[in-house]
Amino acid sequence: MRVARRSSLITTGLLALIIGGGVGLIGHEATSVGPGLGLVPVVVILLVGLRRPWRRWRLAQQELSPERRRWLQAHVPLYRALDEEGRARFDRDVQFVLDEYSFEGVQDVAVTDTLRLSVAAGIAALLHGRPSWELPGSQSVLFYPERFDETYHENVTASYDGMAHQQGPIIFTVLAVQKSWDDPGDGNNVVLHELAHLFDFDNEGADGVPSLVDPVSAPDWQSLVREEMRRVRRGRSLLRPYAAEAPSEFFAVAVEHFFEQPDAMARQHDELFRALVSFFRLDPRSGTVLDPSEGSLADALEGEAPAT
Ligand SMILES: [Zn+2]
């Protein structure tokens, strides 16, 4: 996550210039205020457009608290693999998320710092290899006290521990979030799972082909997914059976294993592992971020190993 995107700074500047210039011209010709009128939209546009970069810049000057760093160190395998510079960037991303996302408890759920940190850690992990990315979707997170069903109600047969929406809040149950990072090597992490779905939403909904997969590589990716889903059905996969439910669930479950069991996945699912390394631009075993020139998805799907 960047403090500011150059493209959005340029857009803000141009917008301020064009609208400010236009209003200034009107002020000059049609009002007694004069061209100074153009300063009003300039100030408004700059205040709105620079608000987030300004907040992020200020946050980036601060250090994550020692308690939060200790928690990340104890619970997030990727964090442990990072060098000092990588951890500083991870810390910074966590701070951005904690500042920008809204976290709310449903019914009597108390939103603790650990719950917030658990979600922020998932976002920072998914974006670590792609510093220019932002997580798509809304910045609202809801914590439910118990499992819920399709209608968001809790009952004894409800089976959902989490749910992501294309344009709505990300929902988690408290227990599932707590379990996600309590045993970070079990390949089961509802936080990573639901966040992974957000990469998979496009115009046709979640279909197991993340919208950032280039169209040229999409058929090879889909055929890899079909093959890997067959392995899951035959019980010959590291991935848990739920991965065979649908291609979208396969992708989300694969992301969980990728970040929690990267060594085992690299050994047992070489091509899938390399595809995910390429997708996230990150080798979670070492915390190494790929160079832009290496490890394209097309190469990964053709069997060429990226130099990590
Ligand atoms: Zn899912």
Give me the domains of the chain, ranges plus CATH numbers: 6-60 (no CATH), 64-181 (1.10.472.150), 202-308 (3.40.390.10)
> Which of 105 and 17 is assigned the larger pLDDT?
105
Contact between residue 154 and residue 81 where contact means Cβ atoms under 8 Å apart: no
| Centre of ligand 1 from the C-alpha of residue 190, in Å | 8
| Centre of ligand 1 from the C-alpha of residue 72, in Å | 24
Of 2-6, 21-25, 89-93, where does mean pLDDT reach its minimum? 2-6
Of 84-98, 160-174, 287-301, where does mean pLDDT reach its minimum? 287-301
pLDDT tier at 137 (50, 70, 90 boundaries)? confident
| Centre of ligand 1 from the C-alpha of residue 26, in Å | 54
Give pLDDT, residue 217: 84
Give pLDDT, residue 205: 64
Give pLDDT, residue 92: 96
| Centre of ligand 1 from the C-alpha of residue 226, in Å | 17
Burial of 70 (0-12, 13-18, 19+ CB in 10 A): exposed
Whole-number mean pLDDT of the chain?
A: 88
> Which of 55 and 47 is assigned the larger pLDDT?
55
Contact between residue 223 and residue 200 where contact means Cβ atoms under 8 Å apart: no
Q: Give how far the C-alpha of residue 163 lies from the chain's centroid of Cα atoms, to the nearest Å.
A: 14
pLDDT tier at 269 (50, 70, 90 boundaries)? very high
Q: Which of 7-21, 51-65, 89-103 has the highest mean predicted lDDT (pLDDT)?
A: 89-103
| Centre of ligand 1 from the C-alpha of residue 160, in Å | 9
> Residue 244: which of 280, 196, 218, 208 has the closest Cα?
208
pLDDT tier at 28 (50, 70, 90 boundaries)? confident
Residue 100 has pLDDT above 60, yes or no: yes
| Centre of ligand 1 from the C-alpha of residue 271, in Å | 22
> Residue 265: which of 290, 287, 289, 285 has the closest Cα?
285
Give pLDDT, residue 47: 78
| Centre of ligand 1 from the C-alpha of residue 265, in Å | 19
Q: What is the pTM of this model?
A: 0.86
Residue 308 has pLDDT above 60, yes or no: no
| Centre of ligand 1 from the C-alpha of residue 164, in Å | 8
| Centre of ligand 1 from the C-alpha of residue 149, in Å | 13
| Centre of ligand 1 from the C-alpha of residue 74, in Å | 26
Residue 243 has pLDDT above 70, yes or no: yes
Residue 304 has pLDDT above 60, yes or no: no
